[in-house]
Amino acid sequence: MDAIRIENVRKVFGGKVTALDGVDLEIGAGELFFLLGASGCGKTTLLRCIAGLETPTEGRIFFGDTDVTGLAPHKREAAMVFQSYALWPHLNVGQNIAFGLEERKVPKEEIKRRVEEALEMVQLGGYGERSIDQMSGGQQQRVSLARALVVKPRCLLLDEPLSNLDAQLRVEMRREIRRIVKDNGLTGIYVTHDQEEALAMADRMAVLSWGKIGQVGTPEEVYRRPVNSYVAGFIGETNLIKGEVMEAQDGHCFVKVKEFALVGAITSGNWQPMPGDPATVSIRPEVWRLHKQGGENEVEGKIVGRSYLGQRIEYFIETVLGRQQVVEMNPHMIHEIGDVVTLHARHGDVVVFGK
């Protein structure tokens, strides 16, 4: 396994379109690291630069201590798994997996042994003679993974590999991919726009926007302590409430919203809030509590919508702060549309951003 270091990487297409704009990133050896963001944010371009399928306009990429910026893809010893599987339909499962080894002129007996090992890794032992059209979508994705693993790569690159699978298979393959990466001591870089996938699988993640990195951290850090409203809105759901700074102290900021004062944690070290500055308060739906607490971040509202989802109930509540989405987990009481309720959020669960 290798650590991967990206230094000030820029990628400009056609001299006009900047896909990556000064990206700096360090990925630890053995990490399963996610790149995520909305379409057009630059995540796939960054992965392709790491793979060698694109050459950065500026900057450098290192695998361990080796500068691979100018190396051809096959010399980087990185294996890539694509969204489309990219399997040869006229070759059987074993032949698809062996293709890369044959290109490298590996002896036949070693190819046979390594193909069998790769099939066992992805829990497809004994499937080598099957044709590709006899395999389900999930099994084809496992074949694609086996083909990547059989060449014993320094790192494994995955470009939205589960987007073509149905919901149940995606959940199954999440666990499988993480197991494969960890069991084989690989450094994995995984591109997705699926926030739930990233939260469930990643050791750490980077959220990209317009070619720049908005935040890097563990799933819990990025979800609970987003550093700006883009990250907060992209990773999960949140209520964003605009106001202006009243005062800041001890890492918390008081924000005036109409006649109310909300307080939450300052998560961006680059923001020094001053009285009168515009500010945005982020409150996750599950952070709101439907009861009177007496203290900070308390507001009354009327329920205008409700969805019963089994283990949780989702409410939409009209307040002077705007319409708030509220999620009650394992509710002991079910409120009805038209009920007037009091919302409360602990200030430690609320975050505040600058403009």
The full DSSP string for 200-236 is HH-SEEEEEETTEEEEEE-HHHHHHS-SSHHHHHHSS
Q: What is the pLDDT of residue 205?
A: 97
Q: What is the pLDDT of residue 331?
A: 75
Q: Count the domains in the chain.
A: 2
Q: What is the pLDDT of residue 100?
A: 85
Say how far apart CA 38 and CA 230 lie, in whole Å: 10
In-domain check, residue 194: yes
Q: What is the pLDDT of residue 2?
A: 83
In-domain check, residue 229: no
Say how far apart CA 66 and CA 49 lie, in whole Å: 15
For residue 273 the two structure tokens come to 């809030």
- Same domain for 256 and 128, yes or no, is no
Within the chain, where are the H helices?
43-51, 93-103, 108-121, 137-149, 167-183, 195-201, 219-224, 229-234
Say how far apart CA 30 and CA 313 lie, in whole Å: 39
Q: What is the pLDDT of residue 145?
A: 87
Q: What is the pLDDT of residue 138?
A: 84
Q: Are strands 204-209 and 155-159 parallel, antiparallel or unpaired?
A: unpaired
- Same domain for 241 and 201, yes or no, is no
- Residues contacting residue 279 through CB under 8 Å, at least 6 positions apart: 242, 243, 244, 245, 253, 255, 273, 352, 353, 354, 355
- One-letter amino acid of 97: I
In-domain check, residue 347: yes
- Same domain for 89 and 212, yes or no, is yes
Measured in degrees and rounded to the nearest 5, phi and psi for residue 294 equal 80, 90
Say how far apart CA 164 and CA 141 lie, in whole Å: 9
Query: Which domain CATH number covers 327?
Result: 2.40.50.140
In-domain check, residue 230: no
- One-letter amino acid of 172: E
Element (H, E) at 282: strand 278-283
- CB of 235 closer than 8 Å to CB of 199: yes
Q: What is the pLDDT of residue 355?
A: 80
- Same domain for 116 and 257, yes or no, is no
- Same domain for 63 and 174, yes or no, is yes
pLDDT per 10-residue tile (average), the chain, 355 residues: 93 92 96 94 95 96 94 89 85 92 89 92 90 89 89 90 82 87 92 92 96 96 95 94 94 93 92 94 95 81 93 94 92 89 94 92
- One-letter amino acid of 55: T
- Same domain for 167 and 299, yes or no, is no
Residue 247 bridge partners (DSSP): 254
- Same domain for 96 and 43, yes or no, is yes
- Domain range for 270 is 237-353
- Same domain for 245 and 208, yes or no, is no
Query: Which domain CATH number covers 150?
Result: 3.40.50.300
- Same domain for 182 and 331, yes or no, is no
Q: Comparing C-alpha atoms, which of 188, 204, 118 is closest to residue 155?
A: 188
- Same domain for 340 and 269, yes or no, is yes
Say how far apart CA 221 and CA 205 lie, in whole Å: 10
Q: Are strands 289-290 and 298-308 parallel, antiparallel or unpaired?
A: unpaired
What letter does residue 153 receive in the DSSP assignment?
A: -
In-domain check, residue 169: yes
- Same domain for 85 and 17, yes or no, is yes
Q: What is the pLDDT of residue 166?
A: 82
